[in-house]
Structure 1
Amino acid sequence: MDGSMNLATLYARALDGIHAPPVQIEVHLANGLPACAIVGLPEAAVRESRERVRAALITSGFEFPARRITVNLAPADLPKDGGRFDLGIALGLLAASGQLPTSALSDYEFVGELGLDGELRPVRGVLPAALSARSAGRSLVVAREDADEAALVRGCRVLAAGHLLEVCAHLRGETLLVEHPAPQTGEGQHNGADLAEVRGQPQARRVLEIAAAGEHHLLMIGPPGTGKTMLASRLPGLLPPMSDDEALTTAAIHAVSGQPLDLKRWKRRPFRAPHHTASGVALVGGGSSPRPGEISLAHNGVLFLDELAEFDRRVLDVLREPLESGAITISRAARQAEFPARFQLVAAMNPCPQGYDCDLAANCRCSPEQIRRQRARLSAPFLDRIDLSVQVPRLPKDQLFDTQGPMPEDSATVRTRVLDCRARQLTRQGHSNALLDGQGIRIHCALDGAGRGDARVSHGAVSPLRPFRPPHPAGGEDHRRSGGERGDYTGAPGGVIDLPGAGSLADVRHESAKWEVSNEVGSEK
């Protein structure tokens, strides 16, 4: 065998965060004692592939070369893990030993794990590989179970196979693999819980709508059983479907985390609700091979933190960076990975440790010191990143069970106003209000010395948010303030809101006056 027949080169994809950097697989056969070495910073699962490949070739009727084999996975400084290189290594051995033609190998990228019988098995993170293969202009060969996920990438030619023999037959030109069609996906409409199921709470409903319109972070405060979780779970139904790029990025994150692809939920914004005992690693991600956490799984969607004051303070403070930057970087000794984390935070908490605070009917017995300790779990820098806060009071029984009054608006009706509001924001500044920087606020929400918006604010009914007040600064005997003192909703300094359904500054002022309260939380004038 001449020197040119001893070397074969083909292409695969590694996994680095949600990216799939290219890997060139070089297989060389040399004279000497039979041995097989895999180099190029392989982890344990990659080193073990030589045994899987040996068995797969023999059981599929091929000859495993009895020579000194060197498999190089380039670039050498990129860590490689998993069984995703099995198929490429097997084909490289066949090509280097003359059992397979090498002429067509450069047109493909191969990603898949091999069983001992030659069966092609799925691997984690095929969607990022398809995105990268499209950019490189190559076809992607994957396991049949991974084909739907890869074919979501428009413009990528995906070939699906169930066995090593099928891939070899295709490369020989005997039985060609057919391009896998794009799968049928859902339209992105939310068909779950509806806002019409929430009784009462007109103020909280309105603030939820405003938060949806501007992608603002929201904190709801109220005793147990007042509907905070119900309201939060209905927020995804008010949000617009994801764009194609957003859907692909979100699906890539879930693919990297190893979660199965749900085509029915395609373009639906994710809703993640981690338990309050979740660790920092569970929220932001981690591991020796970094995987995304809850904040990345909520990318382009909603992250709901129920019982906010029960979370560890250090865990909450970890969220400060991604709340600002929309991304999280996970650093380990040998590698570093960055995951997107642009989510809308919705949090809920009780007003005191017992949960009732000034609810006299519940006979709350929390001391000022207990409330002070609860508040200490929420740092000022963390609260500063929350745009809106609203009280969710306990409803009277007659209002809760009233069947004669008008039915609450459903999610579809509210979503129409939210979509109109989002369209105004995209026309005005190209993104939602939550992403406005200082210059954008000066342009679109200029204020005079008294803090009032000028004429430019009226375009699209934009209103500056009032300063956020951390809830219930406990102290002395006045820690239980009346509902009237707590009823309005507030926002972070420098923020801007669009009021859905408002067309002028007069509408904004009317909205503000409408929710002024006197005796009861959330009562209208």
Structure 2
Amino acid sequence: MLVKTYGSAVQGVNAFTITIEVNVTPGTKYYLVGLPDNAIKESEQRIESALKHHGYRMPRQKVVINMAPADVRKEGSAYDLPIAIGILAASDQLITDHLDQYLIMGELALDGELRPIKGVLPIAIQARKEGYKGFILPKQNAQEAAIVNNLDVIGVSNLKEAIDFLSGDLSIPPLKIDTRDLFQATVHQYTADFADVQGQENIKRALEIAAAGGHNVIMIGPPGAGKTMLAKRLPSILPPLTLHEALETTKIHSVAGKLGAQGSLMAQRPFRAPHHTISDVALVGGGGNPQPGEISLSHNGVLFLDELPEFKRTVLEVMRQPLEERRVTISRARLTIDFPANFMLVASMNPCPCGFYNDPNKDCVCGPGVVQRYLNKVSGPLLDRIDLHVEVTPVSFDQMTETRKTETSADIRERVERARQWQARRFEAFPEIHSNAMMPPQMVKDLCRINEAGRLLLKTAMERLGLSARAYDRILKVSRTIADLAGSEDIKIEHLAEAIQYRSLDREGWAG
């Protein structure tokens, strides 16, 4: 008897339906075709053990299972449940008319229990798009799938529950979640706040500008000056995610299996801080079946690279193109996949190997030329894509022990949101541009006009401070953001002056 069940495969951040055809006929042997990987081929033993545990049997006949389309490679153990259901239906051990109404996915344990799977959200979105009534999956993943409305999400704990539900012997109410209510309830929950930071007002100001314009930023300072603590609080002053951005971000984390057992809608901007031993594939994504890397997991959020010069040169260089294009393309012989990568890069570094080159209280013990060699570990083209260079110095004892309340993240975020509203109106005709940092050169010329006094200031700064030509556009973009924060239509001379000071590493002789 021939029976069809339906599963799904994930490519990139999107899913497509897999038809699992099971045919049980007189004969012997078990055949599994349609380009399955080893995890799927090994499902025979898991399925047989699970069926026996619940009182069913594996047919002692010829069993042919085809996974269509047959020319696309299938990977992972999530096809155990639809294959098992197909075998039971094809061998007349399960009588049901509902197989064509449900997408079925799940990994089986030997005792028939179901284990959680990855990529549930894009699968659920595709199931709704293709008109399926419901989605049968492990109970641990039901919360994630229920984010998708107008789809019956049936969470089951084991194979027996799935069988009884399909045969009509067990009623399982679909899990319902009001996605908008869930989003609104959690969107303003932050784990860190700028109110915890004493002193460092100039660094807070720089991060406020970075958040307002979507600018990349690098902090240079001695160990213990607060670079990491400040970076971790940056997501708390960024504008809250929109529901569309939250779904997009959740989708990427779902594919990577980063949502956890009780995964649900991500309502906060992600903050990713990979260790400096990371490989280039782990950073940008890849693998045989391409998976998103850290830059995609940081989509709509912040990627923090601590101790930037300690990262391998090749790892940093592969990040250059995604920083410009806001996406990363993974190419393989049989397929090409695009992962979104619209993130803010925040980097931190010591100014020299000993760490105290710009410390006002301690002397640097590095020899001649050592500081420059250390800074040269970070290439010019990468620094070219970082708009703000901020020097961080240690907080004094008096500042640390001050009892005066400091500004909260909510206060700063309010100003950032006002500046973003200015930018939203400015770029209304350009849907692919959302912030000042994303302006192409021609738009910078049109939207970042300066008067004669500003032009003379910028010329003087570039000549006296030895600023590079690549700093010119960056200064104009940052000054545009500073003007937006001030509620000014025009870039004034004070906005330019403040923007110029954020190009420390472009100055000739900064490292001695």
TM-score band, normalised by shorter chain: 0.7 to 0.9
1:492 aligns with 2:492: no
CA contact (8 A) 1:465 1:494 kept: no
TM-align CA RMSD: 3.1
Measured after TM superposition, the shift of residue 240 of structure 1 is 1.9
Instruction: Quote the Cα distance in structure 2 between the aligned partners of 1:514 and 1:330.
Output: 39
- Give me the whole-angstrom Cα distance separating, in 1, the residues matched to 2:402 and 2:144: 48
**Is the 1:122–1:145 contact (alpha carbons within 8 Å) kept by the matching residues of 2?**
yes
Give the superposition deviation at 1:336: 5.0
- Provide the secondary structure at the position in 2 that maps to 1:220: strand
Q: Assess, with a 3 A threshold, how the Cα gap between structure 1 residues 336 and 510 changes in structure 2: closer, same or farther.
A: closer
**Structure 2 counterpart of 1:498, one-letter code:** T
**3-state SS of paired residue (1:72):** strand
1:169 pairs with 2:153: no
Alpha carbons of structure 1 residues 74 and 337: separation in structure 2 relative to 1, 3 Å = same
Q: How far apart are residue 397 of structure 1 and its match?
A: 3.9
Q: Does 1:502 align with 2:496?
A: no
Aligned 8 A contact 2:147 2:265 in 1 = no
Matched residues in 1 for 2:489 and 2:258: separation?
A: 46
Distance 1:503 1:191 in 2: 27
Deviation of the 1:320 alpha carbon: 0.7
Aligned partner letter, 2:366 = C
Separation in 2 of the partners of 1:467 and 1:328? 39
What is the alpha-carbon distance in structure 1 between the residues aligned to residue 177 and residue 280 of structure 2?
Answer: 37
Q: Given the superposition, is the C-alpha separation of residues 501 and 358 from structure 1 closer, same or farther in structure 2, using an over 3 Å criterion?
A: closer
Q: Look up the SS of the partner of 2:418 in the other structure.
A: helix
1:16 and 2:21 equivalent? no
- 1:270 touches 1:298 (CA, 8 Å); kept in 2? yes
Conserved? CA contact 1:466–1:490, under 8 Å: no
SS in 2 for 1:70: strand
Alignment map for 1:44-55 (pairs within 5 Å): 44-55=38-49
- 2:75 is the counterpart of 1:81: yes
**Residues 74-473 of structure 1 aligned to structure 2 (within 5 Å):** 74-101=68-95, 103-138=97-132, 139-182=134-177, 184=182, 186-261=185-260, 266-332=266-332, 337-359=337-359, 361-403=361-403, 407-430=405-428, 431-446=434-449
Residues 440 and 267 of structure 1: CA distance in aligned 2, closer, same or farther (over 3 Å) = farther
Residue of structure 1 in register with 2:510 after alignment: none
Q: Deviations over 1:280-325 (max 9, x none)?
A: 2332233333332221221111111111122221111111121112
Amino acid at match of 1:210: I
Do the aligned partners of 2:285 and 2:294 also contact (CA within 8 Å) in 1? yes
In the alignment, structure 1 residue 35 sits paired with structure 2 residue 29? yes
Letter in 1 for 2:436: N
Deviations 1:419-477 (A, max 9, x none): 11112222221422222234543443345788759xxxxxxxxxx999999xx99xxxx
Judge conservation of contact 2:190–2:268 (CA < 8 Å) in 1. Answer: no
Kindly state the Cα deviation for residue 82 of structure 1 after the two structures are TM-superposed: 1.4
CA distance in 1, matches of 2:81, 2:323: 40
Asked if 1 retains the 8 angstrom alpha-carbon contact of 2:222 and 2:358, the reply is no
Q: Deviations over 1:104-131 (max 9, x none)?
A: 2111110111223332322122112111
Kept in 2, the 8 Å contact 1:465–1:495? The answer is no
Closer, same or farther in 2 for the Cα pair 1:153/1:466, shift >3 Å?
farther
Q: Do the aligned partners of residues 171 and 515 (structure 1) sit closer, same or farther apart at CA in structure 2, a change above 3 Å counting?
A: closer
| 1:150-203 per-position Cα deviation (integer Å, ceiling 9, x unaligned) | 111233321111222222222223323211122756522243222122222222
Q: What is the CA–CA distance in structure 2 between the aligned matches of 1:468 and 1:28, rounded to whole Å?
A: 77
Give the number of equivalent residue pairs. 483
Residues 305 and 348, structure 2, Cα contact 8 Å, conserved in 1: yes
In the alignment, the residues of structure 2 paired with residue 243 and residue 188 of structure 1 have an alpha-carbon distance, to the nearest angstrom, of: 9
Q: CA deviation at 1:9?
A: 1.4
Question: How far did 1:276 drift?
Answer: 2.0
Instruction: State the partner residue of 2:507.
Output: none
Amino acid at match of 1:414: I
Residue 513 of structure 1 deviates from its aligned partner by 5.0
CA gap 1:133/1:440 in 2 versus in 1, 3 angstroms = farther
How has the CA–CA distance of structure 1 residues 263 and 98 changed in structure 2, closer, same or farther, with 3 Å as cutoff?
A: closer
Report the AA paired with residue 143 of structure 1.
P
Amino acid at match of 1:193: A
- Displacement of 1:219: 1.0
Name which of structure 1's ranges 110-119 and 34-43 shifts more when overlaid on structure 2: 110-119
- Given the superposition, is the C-alpha separation of residues 401 and 265 from structure 1 closer, same or farther in structure 2, using an over 3 Å criterion? farther
Structure 2 residue runs of 5 or longer lacking an equivalent are: 429-433, 502-512
Letter in 2 for 1:254: H
Between stretches 184-193 and 10-19, larger displacement belongs to 184-193
Q: Percent identity?
A: 45
Confirm or deny: 8 A CA contact 1:465 1:491 kept in the other structure.
no
Whether the aligned pair in 2 keeps the contact of 1:194 and 1:234 (CA below 8 Å) is yes
Query: Take 1:212 and 1:346, find their aligned partners in 2: how far apart are those partners?
Result: 11
Which of 80-89 and 427-436 deviates more?
427-436
1:11–1:448 distance in 2 versus 1, CA, 3 Å = farther
Q: Which amino acid aligns with 2:477?
A: G
Instruction: Say whether the 8 Å CA contact 2:441–2:473 is kept in structure 1.
Output: no
For residues 40 and 176 of structure 1, the distance between their equivalents in structure 2, rounded to whole angstroms, comes to 34
Q: 1:41 to 1:389 in 2, by over 3 A?
A: same
Deviation at 1:383, TM superposition (A): 1.0
2:2 matches 1:7: yes
Q: Alpha-carbon deviations, 1:254-274, whole Å to 9, x = none? A: 222222436688311111112
Cα distance change on mapping 1:314 and 1:368 into 2, 3 Å: farther
Q: Tell me which residue corresponds to 1:60.
A: 54
| Deviation of 1:347 (Å) | 0.7
If the length of structure 1 is used for normalisation, what is the TM-score? 0.83
Question: Contact 1:327–1:340 at 8 Å: present in 2 too?
Answer: yes
C-alpha separation in 2, matches of 1:329 and 1:444? 30
Q: When the two structures are superposed, what TM-score results if normalisation uses the length of structure 2? A: 0.85
Unaligned runs of at least 5 residues, structure 1: 1-5, 454-463, 474-484, 518-525
Any conservation in 2 of the 1:30–1:68 contact (CA below 8 Å)? Answer: yes
- Structure 2 CA distance, aligned partners of 1:451 and 1:441? 15
Name the CA shift for 1:415/1:358 in 2 (closer, same or farther; >3 Å).
closer
Secondary structure, in 3 states, of the residue corresponding to 2:48?
A: helix
Matching residue of 1:456: none
